[in-house]
Chains A and B, each alone.
Chain A
Amino acid sequence: MHGKHQHQQQGGMVVVAPKGCVTVRVGAEGEEQRRFAVPLAHLKHPLFGALLEEAEREYGFAQRGAIAIPCRVDRFVHVEHLIVQDLHGAAASHLLDLDSSSHHHTQIHLHLPRFAGCFRA
């Protein structure tokens, strides 16, 4: 049982992004949505702003759940990479892909230190 299904099937469990992050659901039309935890600092970046504008045009503001971004996953990962490089120099790090492992996400969120959930060195 992985990612999204796990989130949906855990009923009353509170799904929440790691501290300092927001959850986004990413996927172009016809592509399976993947969830990512994005550091708050990225939201203000113009490249991320452009993704949010696309989301607003496509879905409006009245989305249910985490913000959905209508963008191919590979493009999104690339954009995030550029943002990380821009904000933090060449020491690029990775996003936390909430769907990529079969770990129990709640445990990850509760036990990882601040921001380690957002960036894997």
Chain B
Amino acid sequence: MLGALLRLLSACGGVWPTSPAPPARSSSSSSAAAAADQAAAEGRDGLLWWRDLARCHAGELSVAVVQGNHVLEDQCRVESGPPPLAATCIGVFDGHAGPDAARFACDHLLPNLREAASGPEGVTADAIRDAFLATEEGFLAVVSRMWEAQPDMATVGTCCLVGVVHQRTLFVANLGDSRAVLGKKVGRAGQITAEQLSSEHNANEEDVRQELMAQHPDDPQIVALKHGVWRVKGIIQVSRSLGDAYLKHSQYNTEQIKPKFRLPEPFSRPILSANPSIIARCLQPSDCFIIFASDGLWEHLSNQQAVEIVHNHQRAGSARRLIKAALHEAARKREMRYSDLMKIDKKVRRHFHDDITVIVLFINYDQLAKGHSQGQSLSIRCALDH
């Protein structure tokens, strides 16, 4: 009996070694000091990866990702640079039904934005919209090309949340249910308060269901409750996404896709849209930071809880701290210990939490107001294996 217990102990204890950060796919300025900085601030522990703090055009940022799916479906990217595009660009991509659409969006959306913003007007809402639509078009071309060999590509999709700080303007563009939340100071005491910047395209929102029903008046089944959550056609929670070709073009609604994605009837107009919601905000001195995160974070933390966690601690490690807070909550809900949750293998981790991506951007208002941006360019992508 004792032998069995000891075997069990070693089986439980030895599964998750802490390993140093792998060679980063991200790069910072060429100076050796900056490289050393980066190595110190980047790390990995099992399914959690982080970059605790990095300087960027708009200020500083903190990034962290934890894997919940057997194959990581979240992707994220930061591009910040000096002219010609003096801007900090952030992308959070939460894929579904597979990682392919999120990887494609992560590879192409910010480069497409750079191209769309290369004209004399620079970054505008129209340029951002063009970049989204160009990325969608590019992905649907891949789906079309691979249709015979890999029909499952027609059923993968991704939420896309993009934030851009250009001069003193913040743009937030969104498809799906990731969320950007601003932490801003109010009152003389400087308390922090949360303001949600992105609108969510999730059928659990009453106004999203109303919008879908108005767009599809002839379809009483456009939204349906399944597993206690509202889903478009009883299949998918988001009403806007990149990819999901099977809900945009009826030609993919055939027996070649998995039965769970099949619709009983052909359709004449797209059911999901790739048209992002975009807001532009003139940044104020009281705007302290913005949290960009996939829905995996927000199912465990409220906007206000999240901004208080960021505000009440040092900047470095903010994103990782938010993920840990969400995982503590996930463990509590599943009636288990956080330390045990962290030992669960990626094969079954999804039963406990989703992939979670968090990017916290700390705004350096004075720097933006003076037009003195940091000269160095910054490029970050999550170094977790797919």
Contacts and interface: CB of A to CB of B under 8 A. Distances in A.
Given A52-B348, A93-B1, A22 B12 contact: no
Given A40-B12, A40-B344, A62-B227, A93 B4 contact: yes
A59 B227 contact: yes
A88 B7 contact: yes
A17 interface: yes
Q: Is the interface of A mostly helix, strand, loop or mixed?
A: loop
Contact of A16 (B337, B348, B351): B337
B214 interface: no
Given A44-B345, A119-B4, A119-B5, A22 B336 contact: yes
Contacts of A14: 332
Nearest to B354: A61
B7 A23 contact: no
B351 A39 contact: no
Interface in A15-49: 15-17, 19-23, 39-41, 43-44, 49
B36 interface: no
A93 B5 CA distance: 10
A66 B335 CA distance: 6
A52 B345 CA distance: 13
B8 interface: yes
A91 B336 contact: no
Contacts of B354: 61
A31 to B, nearest CB: 20
A43 B345 contact: yes
A36 to B, nearest CB: 11
Contact of B334 (A22, A44, A91, A115): A22
A60 B229 contact: yes
B1 A23 contact: no
Contacts, number: 87
Contacts of A19: 337, 339-340
B350 to A, nearest CB: 6
A117 B162 CA distance: 47
B347 A40 contact: no
B334 A65 contact: yes
B104 to A, nearest CB: 24
Contacts of A16: 332, 335-337
B149 interface: no
Contacts of B1: 91, 93, 121
Contacts of B12: 20, 39-41
B69 to A, nearest CB: 10
Interface in B1-54: 1, 3-5, 7-9, 11-12
B386 interface: no
Interface in B318-364: 332-337, 339-340, 343-345, 347-348, 350-351, 354
A99 interface: no
B334 A23 contact: yes
Nearest to B334: A66
Contact of A67 (B5, B347, B351): B351
Interface string A103-116: 00000000000110
Contacts of B226: 60
Interface in B226-276: 226-229
A111 to B, nearest CB: 16
B53 to A, nearest CB: 32
Nearest to A89: B4
Most buried by A among B1, B335, B343: B335
B333 A64 contact: yes
Contacts of A43: 344-345, 348
Contacts of B350: 61
